[in-house]
Amino acid sequence: MEKREVFKGLAGRNAPDCFASLRTPCYIVDEKRLEENGKILAAVAEHTGCRILLAQKAFSNYNFYPLLAPYLAGTEASGLYEARLGAEEMPGKEVHVFCAAYREDEFEELLRYADHIVFNSVNQLRQFGKAAKEAGKSIGLRINPECSTQEGHAIYDPCAPGSRLGVTREVWNREMTPDLLDLLDGLHFHTLCEQDADALETTLAAAEIRFGDVLPRMKWLNMGGGHHITREDYDVFRLENLLRRTREKWNLQVYLEPGEAVALNAGYLVTTVLDVTENSGIRTAVLDASAACHMPDVIEMPYTPPLLNGEAEGPETGQFRLAGPTCLAGDVIGDYSLDAEPRPGDRLVFGDMAIYTTCKNNTFNGMPLPDIYAMNRDGEFTKLTGFGYEDFKGRLGSGKRE
Ligand SMILES: Cc1ncc(COP(=O)(O)O)c(C=O)c1O
């Protein structure tokens, strides 16, 4: 992704000086960029009749749901809590839920919030499908098109061999019964990760080959997330053609549930340099932000996040390593060349930090959770929430025994 695009929201601002008054580390969510993303998604929906949901696993800072609601059909949840959040904070909009396995003791409550419930196996459809149908819900089953369109990220590939996600045609043939099929209103697949419309075309073709006989019975088809629609060079034209074709060919409602695309490049993580160390010629700036705690995908994915006033480099060419303050030797954000030599007290700003961060962070080593701010169109900040010792302690126990 072009760096210019990542920091476009800061254009004209003297960053990181404009963040000088904020206690670090902190996340900033950029309302202007969120709105721009929302408009792109709303245009796709308008041109194609497709409905687009926010996948809350990627971004669930609900203060921004009122801003996003006009552009979206609703929210997608991974379980009870996200379903409730979507129902509470984007009222009047659709709530869809997919979970790899639902719990008996939560299902009744889930029925209060969800409009669409997608099951991951024929077993789960058998266990919960009838109750969901009787409660008036739209019922779906996740299929596995067995078509990988990505390499090198098996952890993010639901079509990797042996994946537990989605029913393969072989299992469907063995386990599906006419009465269970009668319960189904729709099919769901999710296979992509940060991909373009060509990968969706390939995946859809694979799904049609395997499940084409079932599609005419369905009212809807949910094509999951992983569509990088709001990236500058994404082929929106190709996506729109595919969405229109699919709707007409199968006479069904198409859904997309992107997470990243909704909040792409709409967040920053501001951090302060605490120290600079040196070992075997490698100079490391130790920051008050941690990869392990505050941007876990940097380690999990892995990737090197974009930095304002610096370039991500390989270990050979990077002048400085940026790393977190925890005890984990691998709490490394990446190797960079920087416009200026980092000194204690300097502020650094990482980009594209609204997604898979605030909803995924943790307090390993007793690290504080970063405060979260909104930045409005005029560059003014509002603190949305802050955290302290009690937030760390409260997750570990309490003074009482039950
Ligand atoms: C079922 C499902 N839907 C939607 C998404 C959102 O994907 P992304 O944030 O890449 O668009 C995911 C991500 O893992 C997912 O598992």
Nearest CA to ligand 1 atom 5: 225
Q: Are residues 207 and 288 in the same domain?
A: no
38 close to 68: Cβ distance less than 8 angstroms: yes
Q: In whole angstroms, give the CA distance from residue 140 to residue 120.
A: 9
Q: Are residues 242 and 281 in the same domain?
A: no
Q: Are residues 170 and 120 in the same domain?
A: yes
Ligand 1 atom closest to the Cα of residue 227 is 11
- Where would I find the H helices in 223-327? 236-250, 260-263, 291-294, 297-300
- CATH number (domain holding residue 313): 2.40.37.10
More confident residue, 17 or 97: 97
DSSP string, 72-141: -SEEEESSHHHHHHHHHHSTTSEEEEE-SS--HHHHHHHHHH-SEEEESSHHHHHHHHHHHHHTT-EEEE
Q: Is 269 helix (H, G, I), strand (E, B) or coil?
A: strand
The pLDDT of residue 12 is 76
The rounded Å distance from CA 124 to ligand 1 centre is: 21
Mean pLDDT (the chain) is 96
Residues 6+ apart with CB under 8 A from 13: 379
Nearest CA to ligand 1 atom 14: 225
CB-count burial class (<10 Å; 0-12, 13-18, 19+) for 376: exposed
The rounded Å distance from CA 258 to ligand 1 centre is: 6
DSSP string, 313-355: E-TTT-SEEEE-SSS-TT-EEEEEEESS---TT-EEEEES-SS
| Closest by Cα among 271, 336, 282 to 304 | 336
- Where would I find the H helices in 2-79? 3-6, 31-48, 65-68
Q: Are residues 287 and 252 in the same domain?
A: no
Q: Are residues 56 and 126 in the same domain?
A: yes
Residues 137-147: pLDDT tens digits?
A: 999 999 999 99
Quick one: pLDDT band at residue 315, thresholds 50, 70, 90?
A: confident
Last residue of a domain, one of 260, 292, 310: 260
The rounded Å distance from CA 159 to ligand 1 centre is: 13
Residues 368-378: pLDDT tens digits?
A: 999 999 999 99
The pLDDT of residue 186 is 98
274 close to 284: Cβ distance less than 8 angstroms: no
Mean pLDDT of 185-211: 98
The pLDDT of residue 2 is 79
Q: Are residues 252 and 275 in the same domain?
A: no
Ligand 1 atom closest to the Cα of residue 158 is 16
Q: Are residues 234 and 292 in the same domain?
A: no
Q: How many C-beta atoms surround the C-beta of residue 98 within 10 A?
A: 26
- CATH number (domain holding residue 77): 3.20.20.10
Q: Are residues 323 and 344 in the same domain?
A: yes
Last residue of a domain, one of 260, 288, 312: 260
What is the count of structural domains for the chain? 2
pLDDT at 402 over 80: no
Q: In whole angstroms, give the CA distance from residue 386 to residue 203.
A: 42
Q: Are residues 207 and 76 in the same domain?
A: yes
Quick one: pLDDT band at residue 278, thresholds 50, 70, 90?
A: very high
pTM: 0.97
Nearest CA to ligand 1 atom 9: 259
Mean pLDDT of 258-262: 98
Q: Are residues 384 and 310 in the same domain?
A: yes
Which residues surround ligand 1 with Cβ inside 6 Å? 55, 57-58, 76, 98, 190, 193, 224-226, 257-261
Three-point CA angle 126, 132, 136, nearest 5°: 140
The pLDDT of residue 67 is 98
Q: In whole angstroms, give the CA distance from residue 112 to residue 114.
A: 6
Residues 146-185: pLDDT tens digits?
A: 999 988 778 889 999 999 999 999 999 999 999 999 999 9
Q: Which residue range is the domain that position 286 belongs to?
A: 3-29+266-394
Q: Are residues 226 and 121 in the same domain?
A: yes
Residues 327-369: pLDDT tens digits?
A: 999 999 999 999 999 999 999 999 999 999 999 999 999 999 9
Structure tokens of 250? 């199968």
Last residue of a domain, one of 260, 276, 305: 260
The rounded Å distance from CA 170 to ligand 1 centre is: 24
